[in-house]
Chain A
């Protein structure tokens, strides 16, 4: 028995994706920049992948740049925007619960003299929109707010923020950019700039979170915005991202993105059902739990974060692993605070709540039947820990 519930960390690659990548590595190994037919064959396939990503973001092919992953896309936007707009303003707005791939470059920019405002969240990781509204000043150059939080699963109101930003720009004649790290959102919530995410200027995405390969990502960058490139060299990706294209990765990613978009509703339905079943089971059968994820429609169907009070998340994790169930935690079993999740801390959870937090993250491969088994094993793990703990 193997039940993988750590899909926010990474996912199992689709077999079709593996097959197409192997085929590319064997046969389509030409350099897309080469003038001969082998190069052109590779270029053609890269173009198909680019189209698939463009469809996901509702953009055009020229607005898609392939990178090495979510981290590189985030870094490119943060440092590129700061470099391009350093004479316009000094303020950058990010949420306190961003991925380190956004927070760390923001910290660097802070050291370099930029002002960074961190927008707080509530208990369910909902963004403090009032603070964001106040934070937005004429000195602002970039707002970076993730699409879905990786630990709580909370969907951020990126579309609403985009409208706020556009309105602000219109009134004040400014040109504030909006970036969203959509690594967790991709394939689970709509991220099209033609619809829900209208007005978003930059979007980061990653292959391995949607059953694609690792080491490949994408950046959507709205046409006409002159972001300063992060990687320079041979001028690939229209000078935005130098380095020979990772063709197997790009083509695998393209296929995974296509599958994600084509089966969007089915995939979502599978995750929603599994998550709902487990959530209800936990609430009914395990006393003294704290549901850290939102329980309404503001939660992405891929994530369920629960604190089993009086236990340690890491021990639950290792116990479940013996039953073939793989989850993740909000902190490492270590006495120092360093291992604690900055997200759960920002959400206002106390040490005990963080220590006992477990994250279940779903994919379309999970079933409702599996969740019965998971619930039973979780229940046992929690009870046996509490039994020991009750002697203390």
Chain B
């Protein structure tokens, strides 16, 4: 026994989904398998409401854990050893397990938490704890029991065929397996916010497609490379996706030449949303996703958001809307996009930034400004000239 490393993977909310449970679990197993595809000799399967990952001993178990923890829907992971479901065998394995911990971490106190998922097992849960605890005390002379603040809380999970022994849990991100909640089109810039927003929606099981706007030659190619780098980091969580790249320059030129300066940003935003909606419809996306955050900049005041929203009929998801900037930055650090986001390449040239942007735009006036433009024609041309980049995680 225990010639392999065993990981117990728990699905958080997935367990709550009633009749859909098997479907969600299958999706989750699929995603875990996909993330572990680089490893030979890994077995992933569902069993009694848990997911078991068995990996050959020569594989880097920490790398495997890291990959699994990136899968949305995973609540936690534990490294376990197994024994046949028989008290003596469990006791022997528990002693061996604790001896290891004494050597590795110098633990001195413990407590056993017994549980029987198999109700036909003749010993009840509290009794399991006591019996195994006694065996550990005999087997590991240096250990004492501490029921309040043990160095190690040893779980003994007795199931019909096998029993699993583990301590500690490595937290996953939670959420829901990818592909269980439709597809959304995210507006990805090179900033801090939009990658986080994308990640958060993907975490709730949404598949991702992206659109990126630039103003080449008023912005540099390096700005687009930066966005692709960011997209690849996001893709390491949500899998490969397509990014539609659109040059906004012709539209920005028309706006700058025909509309009031202070409205430039909000007008450009409305064009971006319309173009995104068009692409979303063509690619089977049911929602738009943005990194907008209430009050962060002039185009994100309540008034501006209302005017932006009025340009499309598709629902616009703004998962960061009520977060504080510092919290968004923390999240970006956590998922690993922050360092790339703060590289200095701008994705909008200052020539298109008004000196005093309007913070309280009125829809009527904006519509009036837009009446000077061939809105439909400009959108059509922009969508037509799109390039598609395949974002493949490294």
Contacts and interface: CB of A to CB of B under 8 A. Distances in A.
A315 interface: yes
A231 interface: no
Contact of B346 (A333, A387, A388): A333
Given A333-B219, A333-B220, A391-B256, A315 B349 contact: yes
B220 A314 contact: yes
A184 B174 CA distance: 59
B216 A391 contact: no
A315 B344 contact: no
Interface stretch (A117-125, A244-252, A318-326): A318-326
Given A315-B349, A336-B344, A388 B256 contact: yes
A319 B217 contact: yes
Nearest to B350: A335
B217 A315 contact: yes
Contact of B253 (A312, A334, A388): A388
Nearest to A339: B344
A318 B346 CA distance: 14
A325 to B, nearest CB: 12
Interface string B218-232: 111100000000000
A321 B217 contact: yes
A321 B345 CA distance: 18
B268 to A, nearest CB: 14
B351 A388 contact: yes
Nearest to A385: B351
A391 B263 CA distance: 13
B257 interface: yes
Contacts of A392: 256, 261, 351, 355
- Chain A interface size range: 20 to 34
Contact of B344 (A312, A319, A334): A334
Interface in B203-258: 216-221, 253, 256-257
A315 B257 CA distance: 18
A340 to B, nearest CB: 13
Contacts of B346: 333-335
Most buried by B among A318, A332, A333: A333
Most buried by A among B217, B256, B349, B350: B217
A384 to B, nearest CB: 9
Interface residues of B, number: 17
Interface in A339-354: 339
A387 B351 CA distance: 11
A389 interface: yes
Interface in A366-392: 385, 387-389, 391-392
Nearest to B216: A318
Nearest to A316: B217
B217 A318 contact: yes
A332 to B, nearest CB: 7
Interface in B323-353: 344-346, 349-351
A333 B218 CA distance: 9
B261 A391 contact: yes
Contacts, number: 44
A385 B253 CA distance: 10
A317 B355 CA distance: 24
Interface in A295-321: 312, 314-315, 317-319, 321
Contacts of A312: 349, 351
A169 B346 CA distance: 52
Interface string A190-215: 00000000000000000000000000
B257 A391 contact: yes
Contacts of A388: 253, 256-257, 351
A317 B220 CA distance: 9
Most buried by B among A319, A338, A388: A388
Contacts of B216: 318
A323 to B, nearest CB: 10
Contacts of A335: 346, 350
Contacts of A318: 216-221
A319 B344 CA distance: 20
A385 B215 CA distance: 13
A309 B350 CA distance: 16
B218 A315 contact: yes
Interface string B80-123: 00000000000000000000000000000000000000000000
Nearest to A384: B253
Given A312-B349, A391-B257, A391-B261, A332 B218 contact: no
Contacts of B220: 314, 318, 333
B350 to A, nearest CB: 7
A333 B257 contact: no
Contacts of A385: 351
Contacts of A333: 219-220, 346, 349
B344 A332 contact: yes
Nearest to A381: B217
Contacts of B351: 312, 315, 385, 388-389, 392
Nearest to A334: B344
Contacts of A315: 217-218, 349, 351
Contacts of B261: 391-392
Contacts of B253: 388
A321 B350 CA distance: 20
B292 to A, nearest CB: 22
Contacts of B221: 318
Contacts of A336: 344
24 contacts: A312-B349, A312-B351, A314-B220, A315-B218, A315-B349, A315-B351, A318-B216, A318-B217, A318-B218, A318-B219, A321-B217, A322-B217, A333-B220, A335-B346, A335-B350, A336-B344, A339-B344, A385-B351, A387-B257, A388-B253, A388-B257, A388-B351, A391-B261, A392-B351
* The 3 A-B residue pairs with the shortest CB-CB distance in the complex, in nearest-first order: A318-B217, A319-B217, A334-B344
Interface of A: 312, 314-315, 317-319, 321-322, 332-336, 338-339, 385, 387-389, 391-392
Given A315-B349, A333-B346, 15 more contacts: A312-B351, A314-B220, A317-B217, A318-B216, A318-B217, A319-B217, A321-B217, A334-B344, A336-B344, A339-B344, A385-B351, A387-B257, A391-B256, A391-B261, A392-B355
